[in-house]
Amino acid sequence: MSNKEQKLKKNLYKALTEYFIHNPKNSLPSSESFLDQLAAFRMETTLPIAIKHDVKYQKAQKKCNKSNEKIRDLNLTPQQWDTIDATITAENNASIEYIRIAYKQRIIDAFSILQETL
């Protein structure tokens, strides 16, 4: 690769990372950065499709469903149900945030790989 091509590659990578990753004011008219919006879009569109066909996820979901059935048979008070519901909701929200961060990191990693291979 010529010096000119290497310089172009480096400048492209720098422009992409600065625009998409490090500079939230370059985002679309929103408080979220472009990277956040891209991750959210992918989570909402491709993730549901992927989990339908993922065997490990399907097995984990079946196990979760069996656990939920066991909880229903416990004859809990309304207060106990509220506590369980709040706990499950908090855990789900934490998992969603973990997935969001993982998607963003995947995009950053893709830029890094792109930089190394071009």
pLDDT value, residue 22:
52
CA–chain centroid gap for 25, Å, is: 21
pLDDT value, residue 64:
92
Residue matched to tokens 């500079």: 23
CA 74 to each of CA 67, 70, 79, 117: distance values in angstroms, whole numbers, following the listed order: 11, 7, 13, 56
Please answer whether residues 20 and 106 qualify as being in contact, where contact means their C-beta atoms are separated by less than 8 angstroms. no
Each residue's pLDDT tens digit in the chain (118 positions)? 677 767 766 666 666 666 555 555 544 444 467 677 777 777 778 888 889 999 999 999 999 999 989 988 898 999 999 999 999 999 999 998 998 888 888 888 887 787 777 6
CA distance 115 to 68: 46
pLDDT value, residue 40:
74
pTM above 0.75, yes or no: no
pLDDT value, residue 20:
57
Other C-beta atoms closer than 10 Å to the C-beta of 41 total: 11
CA 71 to each of CA 51, 59, 82: distance values in angstroms, whole numbers, following the listed order: 25, 19, 13
- Write the CB contacts of 27 (distance below 8 Å, at least 6 apart in sequence): 33, 34, 36, 37
pLDDT value, residue 28:
43
The SS3 call for residue 118 is: coil
